[in-house]
Amino acid sequence: MEHRRTPGMLTLVSPAKVNLFLRILGKRADGYHELASLFQAIDLFDTLHFSLAKEDTLTCSDPTLSCDHTNLVIKALNLFRRKSGLQFCMKLHLEKRIPTQAGLGGGSGNAATTLWALNALHNFKFSENELQTWSSEIGSDIPFFFSHGTAYCTGRGEKVRDLPKLTLSPLSLFKPPEGVSTPEVYKALNLQLCAKIDPEKLLEDFYSGDPFFLNDLEEPAFRLLPLLRHYKTSLLEKGCSFAVMSGSGSSFLSVGASSSNLRKSVRRAVGSWYEEV
Ligand code: C5P
């Protein structure tokens, strides 16, 4: 993932992820949900520029994104300094391409990339395993980004089992203009309405060439934002062979949208940003 390296400076790409399936298994005493999900990194990415500096600054190509302590890049910087005991400041710039509130893990990937970069700038003082463990303190999806790209994640998402590369047809991603908030989607979840399928069986089916795409967070997301159900129906009506939401939404992944006519009609129906990954 490394682009270019000069002393004290680094430019890295920070990929997005999709959830090929996402099962919610129950609610935990700490308020989080126990999940089981097949995560896949995709070739849609942000770019992050790092340089050692006299004071901390974060700038972003997307002016709507906050660049203060709430940004996961700053949270990762503060986490690395706290864990390592090292004192330094950074000038950071984020070129954003991954849509936010999309269920594509853009912010989580940015945090993982930041931890990796800071460690690289300090001569790889810490192992990737250490960075991965630390990262779970600031977000459940961040540890996945230390995997090799395909992983089965359990617990609240932070237990990562690396898996062999999957052979899948190219996926199409649709991001409706509307976004949804992850905590709100989890709050709206009714566990009684979740699928009953054993996630280990779903995993087996993906590797035996009979994938079944499923997401237990669709139902609460659709209840919060009914337009999302309409988008899913439109994708199917326009000829996509399946359409499933990624993470807590609002983007959908699909196959079978590769003809340009279909893409145009889907774009008209969903009014959405489209990318093939
Ligand atoms: O861990 P992260 O900060 O990404 O989670 C955001 C929110 O999503 C949490 O505050 C929680 O409301 C919800 N969540 C959950 N169960 C998970 C992951 C996230 O309830 N496994």
* Catalytic residue set: 17, 141
What is the atom index within ligand 1 of the atom nearest the CA of 141? 4
The finding on whether 139 has its CB within 6 A of some atom of ligand 1 is: yes
The finding on whether 136 has its CB within 6 A of some atom of ligand 1 is: no
The finding on whether 144 has its CB within 6 A of some atom of ligand 1 is: no
Neighbours of 242 (CB within 10 A): 16
CA distance 118 to 77: 8
pLDDT of residue 142: 98
Distance in Å, CA 52 to ligand 1 centroid: 32
| For the chain, counts of helices (H) and of strands (E) | 8, 12
Most ligand 1 atoms within 8 A of CB, residue of 17, 33, 137 to mutate: 33
- The stretches in the chain having pLDDT less than 70 are 1-5, 256-263, 265-267, 269-272
pLDDT tens, position by position, 130-164: 999 999 999 999 999 999 999 999 999 999 999 99
The finding on whether 159 has its CB within 6 A of some atom of ligand 1 is: no
Q: Whose CA is nearest to atom 8 of ligand 1?
A: 183
pLDDT of residue 269: 66
Does residue 1 contact residue 40 with C-beta atoms inside 8 Å? no
Q: Whose CA is nearest to atom 21 of ligand 1?
A: 156
Q: Is 178 exposed, middle or buried (0-12, 13-18, 19+ CB in 10 A)?
A: middle
